[in-house]
Structure formats: C-alpha cells, structure tokens
Amino acid sequence: MDVLLRVFLIICALLLLGFMLRRVKKAELHAADTIFWFVFAACLLLVAALPQIAFFFSGLLGIESPANFVFLLVIAILFIKEFSSAIEIAKLREKLHKLTQEIALAENEDKSNEQNK
C-alpha cells in the first residue's frame, strides 16, 4: 500500500476523531452513533498503521491492490451505515405521522367539546 494512501488514511481518521469529539462536546450526537464513528476511525488508523492487514485480505479476496480493498471496505461500511440510517429515518417518519394524526384528533375533539358547551 502506498505511503501517500497511508498518510491520507491517518489524516482522515484523525480529522474524523476531532470532528466527532467536537460533536460529542456539543451534545449533537447519540452515543451509538459516536461509537460507530470512533470504531470506524480506529479501523482506518489500524489499516494505515498495519498495511499487512490490507495485503492479507486483498490477497484472500482476490483483489489486485490493497488500496482497492481499503476503498471497498470503506464504501461497504458506509453503505451499511447509510442503510441503517435510512431505516431509522423511516421509523421516525412513521412516528411523526402517527403523532401528527393524534394531535389533529385531539385538537378536533377539543374544538367539538368547545362547540358543545
């Protein structure tokens, strides 16, 4: 794996860690999300520090370049995270829809009670 790619991975991981620490201090991120991003940054640092990991898995999977394995790994992890986020957003939309309906029914009931007085 190229030295430039290793340096790039280390810089990206450190920037990600700094960004996450700032978000945690501002309480803008949930604990589960924070843990995911810290583990992701740690994996980037691990692959950058020990390129033999990338060589081993790229050889095992038949990928010609360890750099391609790293890119594939990052893309796969981010796809999984995006999919789980999409599921969470869909659940939140459904909850919002139900709450909106409940509020509308409660307001309608309040109006009908006021008219009956």
Q: Residue-wise pLDDT tens for the chain (117 aa)?
A: 678 888 888 888 888 888 888 877 777 777 777 888 888 888 888 888 888 988 999 999 999 888 898 889 889 999 999 999 999 999 999 999 999 999 999 998 888 888 876
What one-letter code names the amino acid at 102?
Answer: E
Rg of the chain over CA atoms, in angstroms?
A: 23
DSSP label of 43: H
pLDDT at 1: 62
What one-letter code names the amino acid at 96?
Answer: L
Contact, 71 vs 63, CB < 8 A? no
For the chain, give every domain's residue range. 3-116
- The pTM score is 0.69
CA angle 112, 105, 103 (to 5 degrees): 120
pLDDT at 86: 95
Query: What is the rounded average pLDDT for all residues in the chain?
Result: 87
